[in-house]
Structure 1
């Protein structure tokens, strides 16, 4: 199964795309002309949208994807509740980070980003509290709640051979738990032990940065 990555400019968030017999999965969507062209060229009319957590750099393209095909959105309960309220989807923290980078680099990225970032609310179709299993094209997709980075964080595991971790596990970057809804205690006591219990050869696709095996990613801890 081929996984394609699309990187959101400005903040380098990863969106992933998987296709099989005219059906597709998009994980953590953002707007992308390249993805749009790909959907058209492959005549995709059925898309499963999967969210690893509720932060705007990972959810801003949900409604955009839904304009191109029949779509079903799956995410954790808290994620669904948060993205259903517009004020929660405003990229205040992202804008602040970009503004700081602009100050250092004498650029104008924050203003450009704020002009194109959509105002939106999202509705999830399937939600879960702790765990959910979904069958897709003969494959088993397992969702597991992984609190710590955010209240609605979850990982997505395909056939026990690859995992999409959102911001719960990044290569070379410790998970951030200081944002609203984050919890260092939950991350250290629940999420990190779970991630370390998985097969170290499982391929990991994080929310930012490059993929690698779990062994390679944990090597940097």
Structure 2
């Protein structure tokens, strides 16, 4: 018996796509074939578990909220940084001296640290706040009328950290409630393999009833395998190119 389902090449999306199409192809045969119905039910059960898992991973409203709050803290950082830089090169000596001292703090943590990943940016802001919260720097910010800008940045960071914690709690809860996608894939691939094997045997014994459906199944599987092989080849090429460079 030919091996049609190539587990090592498949992604979660591949298994979902295969399941949806194979279930569609065999639907008309289920009323008259109880054994095929059993195999179909097995695949449907695994498919439904995977769909729930996929929705759980993509549906969180906190993901978008977190991105929006990250952008807000970026704006707060850039705003205060640029105002200080402008004052530091300005023509009012007293203000320029104070602004330059504060701008040096931004240089210390990295003037483009807002572009780092979530965790790195949070760490940079923590260092920034640790310095700017010192009494002498608070006085300088007050003298330059920049304390509201600084407080706005701190509020933006607090808002981000709060949602980040909620997102982490949500992820932890989901991990406890839902099984990993790769574990579900094992059951899906097993169900797909059993169903295809049954259809192959049935098409050999009764081509008139099963032949056309099995040919459609093979066509879909070949399309998925071709796409999966192309994806794997592309990744291997990228890896070789990285090594050569």
TM-score by length of structure 2 reads: 0.21
> Which protein has the bigger strand share?
1
Is the helix fraction higher in 1 or 2?
2
Instruction: Mark the structure with the bigger radius of gyration.
Output: 2
Structure number with the bigger relative contact order (C-alpha 8 A, sep ≥ 6) is 2
